[in-house]
Amino acid sequence: MSQELFQENLQKISPLLAELAKSPIQHCINGNWVDASNGETFTNHSPIDESVIGEVSAGTTEDIDKACNAAAEAFETWAAMPGKQRRELLHSIADAIEANAEAIALTESWDTGQPLRFMSKAAIRGAENYRFFADMAPNAREGRSLPAQQHMNYSVRQPIGPVGIITPWNTPFMLSTWKIAPALAAGCTVVHKPAEWSPCTAAMLVKIMHEAGLPAGVVNTVQGIGEVAGKALTEHEAIKAIAFVGESRTGSEIMKQGADSLKRVHFELGGKNPVIVFDDANLERALDAVVFMIYSLNGERCTSSSRLLIQKSIAAEFVEKVRQRVAALKVGHPLNPETEVGPLIHEKHRDKVSSYFDIAKQDGATIAIGGKTTDLDGNGCFVEPTLFTDASNSMRISQEEIFGPVLTAIEFEDEAEAVEIANGVRYGLAGYVWTGDSGRSIRLGRGLDVGMVWINSENNRHLPSPFGGMKASGIGRDGGDYSFDFYMETKNICIATNDHSIPKLAKN
């Protein structure tokens, strides 16, 4: 049955690939599809078999300038549109995403190597992002009533202006919608610069938005290289804020680039997230979550639990069970519905991930399973799902974001040591805790220096909750009203309620 579905998926994707191969993926600026100003393109490959998907317009500073000017021009009208009207439009976009969900999922799988079993949900989640923020649009401007003795203070919010959104290649469709939907609901216009390794579904998204009725200039998508198109976007005077998802190092570059124009920034960056398993936990459930949270999405996930902190008393048995599960993971073609782990995004990323196999050995860790690159019929950017044991927290495999299906297991004696190891990295995105002790779960909830803690759970999405990281993992929070705090300015209005005394200067 799964073989039949696999063949069906291959048949379904072939017309989509034929379309992508025909002409370069263009920018969408002011509602028009255009080539790069100098006509240059770059080639996009599939990580499955390294075949060429097609050419992509390589955005220039001039292209970014045009896109930013279009976003600036469209801003006044878009910001003035009643929230209820914006709500209807954003729901229409969600409808259109749902109608195209299969094509989006297949294309995303082919472009990024992510297994279809996860990508089919990513498109639906993208639609959910639009619906959630659509319903918040009518009340986005609301503020607070802050009465004083002789004055009435009240706050209102207004959209900050045109914003730049820069996204990475892991789950690019879902992440783009997570940023673009709240910006639009808030009344901002957008210039989107997708990652150069995953350009396809960004082009689909902007096409869908326009077909659903989005006015020209409200969202402009410029494809291209980060250091060129992305940089120009972060430096452009018309852009008031940059929402960025990507590596911590790039976040730091963007902060420098945006300094002259005093950009507001929101950063969702890297992670080296611990999953801490205590001996009093439900170990069967913990095992499921440990395996899922690092080996799903090819481990190319900011919230992946890439460090397993395991209590010494149960370490040997639990780690052996993890090893057995890792050995049984189904690595293969992402369009095969059975596949659990697909190829990594790009050969450069495969090389980066696999470089840690030698680093682990040099540092004295053991490769309990995996630790090799692999392929599909001689092709593709695959690595074997890998488990490192005998590791200490000071090793590079414990400190650096590897961003692949690679788990480092570290043993701890007691709660205090677990917290010390968990916090002993430069990152602070997420933490996962497995324990049967409710007091301990509260203590760890407080004690972990991370933006999000999941207790006895895998990463569970809840759109109103704050999402983001501490330390090198980010600045700011997304989700619910937190997103509006970024995309909007808060303004206080103060009205005197009586003839209160005003200090008099230069009056005899």
Binding-site ranges for ligand NAD (CB under 6 A): 166-170, 175, 193, 195-196, 226-227, 230-231, 234, 245-247, 250, 253-254, 257, 268-271, 302, 401, 403, 429, 469, 473-474
Indicate the angle between helix axes 83-99 and 116-136, nearest 10 degrees: 170
In the complex, minimum distance from the CB of residue 8 to ligand NAD, in angstroms, rounded to a whole number: 30
Hey, CA dihedral for 464, 469, 473, 474, is it positive or negative?
positive
CA-to-CA separations, 114 to 106, 210, 302, 348, 398, in angstroms, rounded: 10, 27, 14, 16, 24
Q: What is the DSSP string of 7-58?
A: HHHHHHHHHHHHHHHHSPBPEEETTEEE--TT--EEEEE-TTT--EEEEEE-
Nearer to ligand NAD, 384 or 401 (CB): 401
Nearer to ligand NAD, 131 or 346 (CB): 346
Cα separation, 227 vs 234, in Å, equals 10
Of residues 350, 290, 360, 277, the one with CA closest to residue 325: 290
Q: What is the DSSP string of 159-203?
A: E--SEEEE--SSSHHHHHHHHHHHHHHHT--EEEE--TT--HHHH
List the alpha helices (DSSP H) in 212-336.
Answer: 231-235, 248-257, 283-295, 312-328
User: Is 302 one of the annotated active-site residues of the chain?
Assistant: yes
Q: Which of 196, 268, 340, 411 is catalytic?
A: 268
Cα separation, 217 vs 466, in Å, equals 30
In the complex, minimum distance from the CB of residue 497 to ligand NAD, in angstroms, rounded to a whole number: 45
Cα separation, 5 vs 34, in Å, equals 37
In the complex, minimum distance from the CB of residue 426 to ligand NAD, in angstroms, rounded to a whole number: 12
Give the bridge partners for 411, in sequence order.
310
Phi first, then psi, for residue 496 (nearest 5°) are -70, 135
The SS3 assignment for 452 reads strand
Phi first, then psi, for residue 133 (nearest 5°) are -75, -25
Nearer to ligand NAD, 223 or 311 (CB): 223
Q: Which of 28, 68, 188, 302 is catalytic?
A: 302
Structure tokens at 369: 């399973």
In the complex, minimum distance from the CB of residue 193 to ligand NAD, in angstroms, rounded to a whole number: 6
Nearer to ligand NAD, 189 or 234 (CB): 234
Nearer to ligand NAD, 143 or 466 (CB): 466
222, 64 in Cβ contact below 8 A? yes
Cα separation, 226 vs 254, in Å, equals 10
What is the β-pairing status of strands 274-277 and 373-376? unpaired
Nearer to ligand NAD, 302 or 410 (CB): 302
184, 218 in Cβ contact below 8 A? yes
Nearer to ligand NAD, 179 or 325 (CB): 179
The SS3 assignment for 310 reads strand
Q: What kind and span of H or E run contains 455?
A: strand 452-455
In the complex, minimum distance from the CB of residue 186 to ligand NAD, in angstroms, rounded to a whole number: 19
Structure tokens at 401: 């974001």
Nearer to ligand NAD, 53 or 319 (CB): 53
In the complex, minimum distance from the CB of residue 451 to ligand NAD, in angstroms, rounded to a whole number: 9
Which of the residues are catalytic?
268, 302
